[in-house]
Structures are given as structure tokens and as C-alpha cells.
Amino acid sequence: MIACHLFKRIEVGRDYKISVELNMSYQQFCSEWGDGSVLVTEAI
């Protein structure tokens, strides 16, 4: 159900190449996390 709101279109092509179109822009996606910044962490 959540995926239906996030993704507008998902295509699987030859050699399993996946193309995804979101229902929002990247800027809108980032702004939903609070101050618009994205925290990236790496597990070691």
C-alpha cells in the first residue's frame, strides 16, 4: 500500500534492468525528513 503512494511507475526490462519513476521529486522526498538534509551512514 505504501509503495503505491511512492512509486508512479516501475518497469523491468531486458536483463532485469529496473526503471523506477517516483510520485514526487527528490527535493520533496528529502524535505519529508525534516530539515531537507539526508544523513548517510556506513556500517563496518
For 3-42, what is each residue's pLDDT tens digit? 788 888 999 999 999 998 888 777 776 776 665 455 555 6
| pLDDT (0 to 100) of residue 11 | 93
Query: 30 burial class (0-12, 13-18, 19+ CB within 10 angstroms)?
Result: middle
pTM: 0.47
What lies within 8 Å, CB to CB, of 38 at 6+ separation is 30
| pLDDT (0 to 100) of residue 42 | 61
| Separation of first and last alpha carbons in the chain | 33
